Amino acid sequence: MEYVPQTSQTSLQRRKWSTKEDVVLISAWLNTSKDAIVSTDQKAGAFWKRIVDYVNASPQLSGQVPREWSQCKQRWGRINEQVCKFVGCYEAAVREQASGQNENDVMKAAHDIFLNDLGIKFTLEHCWRELRFDQKWKSLAVPKEGPKEKRKEAAEVVAEEEGADVRPPGVKACKAAKRKRHGYDEIHSMLAVKKEIQQQKLLECLLAKDPTHLTASEITLMDKLISQMI
């Protein structure tokens, strides 16, 4: 009997992520999470469906075996957690930077802090470089006192906020802003109508008067109102 190797789900889950796949996944997550209009009221399943579609449709990954949405979600969870922790290590290294040290020295120190704190090497530097200037990662502040505990605390907070199950941010704010704009538009329309009615009444009063008794200012005003309504 011929042996048929089992591929499908198990082998797909064990397939390692390449640097190129990580970069595409990060791009997909950033674009989808910031698309507030499209992602409003979107459930987590639909959110990850959009991300996996983005990843599998990327020209950069042409010819590769498509990923499952659960794989993307799991991989993002790991990237997010470790990058959040490394952000704290990097900022601590910057604050402890000695005179004469360059960027390479700071990076080495950050990697050493990460290894010392977590007991493992940081292998996702390429992901950190993609995310480091995004607002959610660059705003992580780490006090100098008690660096190890503070880094851990700050990283956990950010990881919680950026967890894989969290729906795209900005949904409530988007709704509130939309309602506010709608209210302003209605008030603006009402005021415009009211102003037009007042101008019509004023013009009618002026036209009802004897032209010979109109003052120069009234004649000017009447001409202006007529020109606005033509």
Dihedral Cα 29, 31, 32, 33, nearest 10 deg? 80
Cβ pair 131, 83 in contact under 8 A? yes
Say which residues have a Cβ less than 8 Å from residue 186's Cβ, sequence separation at least 6.
none
Look at residue 63 and tell me if it is in a domain. yes
CA neighbours within 13 Å on the CB side: how many for 152? 7
Check pLDDT > 50 for residue 145.
Answer: no
- Mean pLDDT score of the chain: 76
205 and 114 within one domain: no
Whether residue 180 has pLDDT greater than 60: yes
With the C-alpha atoms ordered 67, 73, 79, 80, is the resulting torsion angle positive or negative?
Answer: positive
> Is 90 exceeded by the pLDDT of residue 189?
no
Q: Which residue is associated with the tokens 């674009």?
A: 31
Residue located via tokens 């967890």: 163
In a domain, 39, yes or no: yes
Report yes or no on 11 lying in a domain.
Answer: no
- Mean pLDDT confidence for 29-43: 68
Q: Which of 5-19, 43-57, 63-77 has the highest mean pLDDT?
A: 63-77
The length of the chain is: 230
C-alpha span between 211 and 209 (Å, rounded): 6
Q: Which pTM does this prediction carry?
A: 0.57
Measure the N-to-C terminal CA separation of the chain; round to a whole number of Å. 92
Lowest model confidence (mean pLDDT) among 30-39, 58-67, 105-114? 30-39
Whether 122 and 214 share a structural domain: no
108 against 182, higher pLDDT: 108
Asked if residues 72 and 50 have their Cβ atoms less than 8 Å apart, the reply is no
Query: Which domain range does residue 63 map to?
Result: 19-132
Number of domains in the chain: 2
